[in-house]
Amino acid sequence: MGSIFSRLMGRLSGAARAGAGGTGGERSTAQEYNGFLIQAAPLREGSQWLTAGFISKTIGDEQKEHQFIRADTHASREDAEAFSLTKARLIIDEQGEKLFEQ
């Protein structure tokens, strides 16, 4: 079990480095969903793309933002982008504004 966690963390940290290098992480146009703004920002990992994105909302006078990265991989950036937006909607449906309480 520990080795699975270690591999996942290695993949995510590698993806973050790849995203910083211009091979992903660029944000899509923001879409409104239930009062939140969502953006896909898939990260390239080798020949695959990781599900990733941002969820933001203005609460009071403060702009809150949450970044998510998931281990799901996709063959194309377009597929990863579409799934990232779907995942963002699911996160909002499950957590709502509690997402920003951490």
Domains of the chain: 2-100 (3.30.160.350)
CB 89 within 8 A of CB 57: no
User: Among all chains, which residue has been given the structure tokens 């211009």?
Assistant: 22
The CA distances from residue 88 to 46, 47, 58, in Å, are 23, 23, 16
Q: What is the DSSP letter of 76?
A: S
How much is the pLDDT for 17? 46
pLDDT tens digits, 51-86: 999 999 999 999 999 999 999 999 999 999 999 999
Which residue bears the tokens 């909302």?
Answer: 57
In degrees, rounded to 5, the angle at the alpha carbon of residue 37 between the alpha carbons of residues 66 and 50 is 55
Residue 95 has pLDDT above 70, yes or no: yes
The pTM (predicted TM-score) of the whole model is 0.76
Contact 42, 51 (CB under 8 A): yes
